[in-house]
Amino acid sequence: MNIQWNAEKYTSDFSFVYQYGSAVTELIEADPGSAVLDLGCGNGALSKTLKDKGYVVTGIDASADQLAIAREKYPDISFCQADAADFSLPEPVDVVFSNAVFHWIDKEKQPQMLKCVREGLKEGGQFVFEMGGYGNNQRIHKALAEAFARHGYGYTNPFYFPSVGEYASLLEREGFQVRYALLFDRPTELKGENGLADWIRMFVKRPFSVVSSGEEQNAIIEEAAEGLRGQLCQSGIWYADYVRLRMRAVKN
Protein backbone atom coordinates (compact mmCIF):
# COMPACT_ATOMS: atom_id res chain seq x y z
CA MET A 1 0.00 0.00 0.00
CA ASN A 2 1.34 3.45 -0.86
CA ILE A 3 -0.54 5.75 1.53
CA GLN A 4 -0.71 6.74 5.18
CA TRP A 5 -4.32 7.40 6.18
CA ASN A 6 -5.92 10.15 8.19
CA ALA A 7 -8.35 7.56 9.51
CA GLU A 8 -10.74 9.90 11.31
CA LYS A 9 -11.13 12.26 8.34
CA TYR A 10 -11.51 9.30 5.98
CA THR A 11 -14.39 8.00 8.10
CA SER A 12 -16.11 11.37 8.52
CA ASP A 13 -15.64 12.98 5.08
CA PHE A 14 -15.12 10.14 2.60
CA SER A 15 -17.75 7.63 3.66
CA PHE A 16 -18.80 7.20 0.02
CA VAL A 17 -15.90 4.76 -0.40
CA TYR A 18 -17.48 2.07 1.75
CA GLN A 19 -21.08 3.13 1.07
CA TYR A 20 -20.64 2.38 -2.64
CA GLY A 21 -18.93 -0.85 -1.65
CA SER A 22 -22.17 -2.27 -0.28
CA ALA A 23 -23.25 -3.00 -3.85
CA VAL A 24 -20.11 -5.08 -4.41
CA THR A 25 -21.10 -7.44 -1.61
CA GLU A 26 -24.12 -8.45 -3.72
CA LEU A 27 -21.77 -10.28 -6.11
CA ILE A 28 -20.92 -12.84 -3.45
CA GLU A 29 -22.62 -16.19 -4.04
CA ALA A 30 -22.18 -17.99 -0.72
CA ASP A 31 -24.45 -19.39 1.96
CA PRO A 32 -24.80 -17.81 5.40
CA GLY A 33 -22.09 -19.16 7.68
CA SER A 34 -19.47 -19.03 4.94
CA ALA A 35 -16.06 -17.69 5.95
CA VAL A 36 -15.29 -14.33 4.30
CA LEU A 37 -12.07 -12.33 4.39
CA ASP A 38 -12.52 -8.56 3.97
CA LEU A 39 -9.14 -7.67 2.49
CA GLY A 40 -8.26 -4.02 3.07
CA CYS A 41 -11.16 -3.66 5.48
CA GLY A 42 -10.31 -0.10 6.57
CA ASN A 43 -12.66 1.09 9.31
CA GLY A 44 -14.66 -2.13 9.19
CA ALA A 45 -17.90 -0.72 7.77
CA LEU A 46 -18.13 -3.32 5.00
CA SER A 47 -16.99 -6.07 7.36
CA LYS A 48 -20.12 -5.23 9.36
CA THR A 49 -22.24 -5.36 6.18
CA LEU A 50 -20.84 -8.81 5.42
CA LYS A 51 -21.47 -10.01 8.97
CA ASP A 52 -25.06 -8.77 8.75
CA LYS A 53 -25.48 -11.00 5.69
CA GLY A 54 -24.69 -13.98 7.89
CA TYR A 55 -21.05 -14.53 6.99
CA VAL A 56 -18.24 -15.30 9.43
CA VAL A 57 -15.96 -12.34 8.76
CA THR A 58 -12.31 -11.56 9.32
CA GLY A 59 -10.91 -8.15 8.35
CA ILE A 60 -7.33 -7.45 7.34
CA ASP A 61 -5.80 -4.01 6.84
CA ALA A 62 -2.32 -2.48 6.86
CA SER A 63 -3.39 0.66 8.73
CA ALA A 64 -3.22 0.48 12.52
CA ASP A 65 -5.29 3.69 12.75
CA GLN A 66 -8.08 2.29 10.59
CA LEU A 67 -8.07 -0.98 12.52
CA ALA A 68 -8.35 0.89 15.81
CA ILE A 69 -11.60 2.43 14.58
CA ALA A 70 -12.84 -0.93 13.25
CA ARG A 71 -12.16 -2.71 16.55
CA GLU A 72 -13.84 0.01 18.57
CA LYS A 73 -16.96 0.11 16.39
CA TYR A 74 -17.29 -3.63 15.72
CA PRO A 75 -15.81 -5.56 18.66
CA ASP A 76 -17.57 -8.78 17.61
CA ILE A 77 -15.56 -9.01 14.36
CA SER A 78 -11.99 -10.28 14.18
CA PHE A 79 -9.51 -7.77 12.67
CA CYS A 80 -5.82 -8.33 11.93
CA GLN A 81 -3.04 -6.06 10.69
CA ALA A 82 -1.27 -7.26 7.55
CA ASP A 83 -0.23 -6.12 4.09
CA ALA A 84 -2.56 -7.16 1.26
CA ALA A 85 0.46 -8.29 -0.76
CA ASP A 86 2.01 -10.26 2.10
CA PHE A 87 -0.49 -12.12 4.26
CA SER A 88 -1.46 -15.67 5.15
CA LEU A 89 -4.49 -17.18 6.87
CA PRO A 90 -4.59 -19.93 9.50
CA GLU A 91 -7.42 -21.60 7.57
CA PRO A 92 -8.64 -21.05 3.99
CA VAL A 93 -11.88 -19.11 3.52
CA ASP A 94 -14.83 -19.45 1.16
CA VAL A 95 -14.66 -15.85 -0.11
CA VAL A 96 -12.07 -13.10 -0.33
CA PHE A 97 -13.79 -9.74 -0.70
CA SER A 98 -12.18 -6.36 -1.29
CA ASN A 99 -13.38 -2.85 -2.08
CA ALA A 100 -11.34 0.16 -3.28
CA VAL A 101 -8.00 -1.35 -2.30
CA PHE A 102 -6.12 -2.91 -5.20
CA HIS A 103 -5.45 0.29 -7.15
CA TRP A 104 -3.28 1.35 -4.18
CA ILE A 105 -0.99 -1.64 -4.73
CA ASP A 106 1.85 -1.08 -7.20
CA LYS A 107 1.50 -2.99 -10.46
CA GLU A 108 4.59 -5.11 -9.85
CA LYS A 109 3.16 -6.30 -6.52
CA GLN A 110 -0.18 -7.42 -7.96
CA PRO A 111 0.93 -11.02 -8.74
CA GLN A 112 2.17 -11.47 -5.17
CA MET A 113 -1.09 -10.07 -3.79
CA LEU A 114 -3.12 -12.44 -5.99
CA LYS A 115 -0.94 -15.35 -4.89
CA CYS A 116 -1.78 -14.54 -1.25
CA VAL A 117 -5.48 -14.37 -2.15
CA ARG A 118 -5.37 -17.71 -3.97
CA GLU A 119 -3.55 -19.44 -1.14
CA GLY A 120 -6.11 -18.06 1.30
CA LEU A 121 -9.09 -19.50 -0.60
CA LYS A 122 -10.61 -22.95 -0.51
CA GLU A 123 -10.77 -24.85 -3.79
CA GLY A 124 -13.55 -23.24 -5.82
CA GLY A 125 -13.58 -20.25 -3.47
CA GLN A 126 -14.74 -16.86 -4.72
CA PHE A 127 -12.73 -13.70 -5.15
CA VAL A 128 -15.01 -10.63 -5.33
CA PHE A 129 -13.67 -7.09 -5.59
CA GLU A 130 -13.92 -3.58 -6.94
CA MET A 131 -11.04 -1.23 -7.69
CA GLY A 132 -10.24 1.81 -9.77
CA GLY A 133 -10.29 0.87 -13.44
CA TYR A 134 -8.81 2.20 -16.65
CA GLY A 135 -9.51 5.95 -16.95
CA ASN A 136 -10.25 6.41 -13.25
CA ASN A 137 -9.92 10.09 -12.22
CA GLN A 138 -8.29 10.80 -15.56
CA ARG A 139 -9.27 14.48 -15.56
CA ILE A 140 -7.97 14.98 -12.03
CA HIS A 141 -4.59 13.40 -12.71
CA LYS A 142 -4.23 15.32 -15.97
CA ALA A 143 -4.93 18.62 -14.18
CA LEU A 144 -2.42 17.73 -11.46
CA ALA A 145 0.23 16.84 -14.03
CA GLU A 146 -0.27 20.19 -15.73
CA ALA A 147 -0.07 22.06 -12.40
CA PHE A 148 3.07 20.17 -11.41
CA ALA A 149 4.65 21.06 -14.76
CA ARG A 150 3.90 24.76 -14.30
CA HIS A 151 5.81 24.59 -11.03
CA GLY A 152 8.73 22.76 -12.62
CA TYR A 153 7.99 19.24 -11.37
CA GLY A 154 7.20 15.94 -13.00
CA TYR A 155 4.04 14.10 -11.99
CA THR A 156 3.66 10.33 -11.79
CA ASN A 157 0.23 8.84 -11.22
CA PRO A 158 0.69 6.72 -8.07
CA PHE A 159 -2.19 4.36 -8.79
CA TYR A 160 -2.74 1.22 -10.84
CA PHE A 161 -5.90 1.41 -12.96
CA PRO A 162 -6.12 -1.65 -15.26
CA SER A 163 -8.53 -2.46 -18.04
CA VAL A 164 -10.84 -5.48 -17.91
CA GLY A 165 -8.62 -7.42 -20.29
CA GLU A 166 -5.42 -6.61 -18.44
CA TYR A 167 -6.70 -7.65 -15.05
CA ALA A 168 -8.58 -10.69 -16.32
CA SER A 169 -5.35 -11.95 -17.88
CA LEU A 170 -3.49 -11.35 -14.63
CA LEU A 171 -6.12 -13.29 -12.69
CA GLU A 172 -5.98 -16.19 -15.13
CA ARG A 173 -2.18 -16.37 -14.90
CA GLU A 174 -2.49 -16.60 -11.12
CA GLY A 175 -4.94 -19.51 -11.21
CA PHE A 176 -8.36 -17.85 -11.24
CA GLN A 177 -11.29 -18.21 -13.63
CA VAL A 178 -13.10 -14.92 -14.25
CA ARG A 179 -16.88 -15.22 -13.99
CA TYR A 180 -17.92 -11.55 -14.00
CA ALA A 181 -16.23 -8.32 -15.07
CA LEU A 182 -17.56 -4.78 -15.50
CA LEU A 183 -15.84 -1.45 -16.13
CA PHE A 184 -18.16 1.51 -15.60
CA ASP A 185 -18.22 5.26 -15.02
CA ARG A 186 -19.30 6.37 -11.56
CA PRO A 187 -19.16 10.16 -11.08
CA THR A 188 -18.91 10.55 -7.32
CA GLU A 189 -20.13 13.49 -5.28
CA LEU A 190 -17.54 15.03 -2.96
CA LYS A 191 -18.30 16.72 0.34
CA GLY A 192 -18.00 20.48 0.89
CA GLU A 193 -17.28 23.59 -1.14
CA ASN A 194 -13.61 22.55 -1.38
CA GLY A 195 -14.50 18.96 -2.15
CA LEU A 196 -11.99 18.33 -4.92
CA ALA A 197 -9.06 20.00 -3.15
CA ASP A 198 -9.87 18.03 0.00
CA TRP A 199 -10.09 14.83 -2.04
CA ILE A 200 -6.64 15.46 -3.53
CA ARG A 201 -5.17 16.13 -0.08
CA MET A 202 -6.63 12.87 1.24
CA PHE A 203 -5.87 10.51 -1.62
CA VAL A 204 -3.02 11.88 -3.77
CA LYS A 205 -0.01 12.01 -1.47
CA ARG A 206 3.01 10.31 -3.03
CA PRO A 207 3.50 12.67 -6.00
CA PHE A 208 3.82 15.61 -3.60
CA SER A 209 6.96 14.15 -2.01
CA VAL A 210 8.99 16.08 -4.60
CA VAL A 211 7.46 19.41 -3.47
CA SER A 212 9.12 20.39 -0.20
CA SER A 213 7.10 23.53 0.52
CA GLY A 214 3.65 23.05 2.02
CA GLU A 215 2.65 26.41 0.57
CA GLU A 216 3.60 25.30 -2.92
CA GLN A 217 1.80 21.99 -2.46
CA ASN A 218 -1.36 23.88 -1.59
CA ALA A 219 -0.88 26.17 -4.59
CA ILE A 220 -0.63 23.17 -6.93
CA ILE A 221 -3.75 21.60 -5.43
CA GLU A 222 -5.76 24.80 -5.70
CA GLU A 223 -4.62 25.38 -9.30
CA ALA A 224 -5.61 21.87 -10.33
CA ALA A 225 -8.99 22.11 -8.63
CA GLU A 226 -9.78 25.53 -10.05
CA GLY A 227 -8.84 24.36 -13.53
CA LEU A 228 -11.45 21.60 -13.22
CA ARG A 229 -14.25 23.75 -11.83
CA GLY A 230 -16.01 23.98 -15.17
CA GLN A 231 -15.85 20.20 -15.67
CA LEU A 232 -16.28 18.65 -12.24
CA CYS A 233 -18.30 21.21 -10.28
CA GLN A 234 -22.03 21.35 -10.94
CA SER A 235 -24.34 23.77 -9.08
CA GLY A 236 -21.69 24.18 -6.41
CA ILE A 237 -21.19 20.44 -5.92
CA TRP A 238 -17.88 18.80 -6.76
CA TYR A 239 -17.65 15.38 -8.39
CA ALA A 240 -14.71 13.05 -8.97
CA ASP A 241 -14.57 11.30 -12.34
CA TYR A 242 -14.42 7.76 -11.03
CA VAL A 243 -14.26 4.67 -13.26
CA ARG A 244 -14.60 1.37 -11.42
CA LEU A 245 -13.58 -2.19 -12.26
CA ARG A 246 -15.80 -4.80 -10.57
CA MET A 247 -15.01 -8.51 -10.86
CA ARG A 248 -15.78 -11.97 -9.53
CA ALA A 249 -13.45 -14.90 -10.04
CA VAL A 250 -13.11 -18.42 -8.65
CA LYS A 251 -10.04 -20.37 -7.65
CA ASN A 252 -9.31 -23.13 -10.18
CATH number at residue 15: 3.40.50.150
Q: Round to whole Å and give the CA distance between 33 and 31.
A: 6
pLDDT of res. 10: 46
Is 214 inside any structural domain? no
Is 150 inside any structural domain? no
Is 83 inside any structural domain? yes
pLDDT of res. 5: 45
97-to-60, 65, 125, 170, 174 alpha-carbon distances in Å: 11, 21, 11, 17, 17
Which domain covers residue 55, as residue numbers? 7-136+159-191+242-251
Report the Cα 2 to chain-centroid distance in Å.
11
Is 174 inside any structural domain? yes
Is 166 inside any structural domain? yes
Q: Looking at the 3D structure of the chain, how many domains does it have?
A: 1
**pTM for the whole structure:** 0.91
Is 142 inside any structural domain? no
Q: Are 148 and 220 in contact (CB under 8 A)?
A: yes
pLDDT of res. 4: 54
Is 69 inside any structural domain? yes
Predicted confidence (pLDDT) per residue in 60-72, tens digit: 999 999 999 999 9
56-to-27, 47, 189, 211 alpha-carbon distances in Å: 17, 10, 32, 45
DSSP conformational letter for 77: S
Q: How confident is the model at residue 3 (pLDDT cuts 50, 70, 90)?
A: low
pLDDT of res. 136: 98
Q: Choose among 233, 221, 34, 15: nearest CA to 128.
A: 34
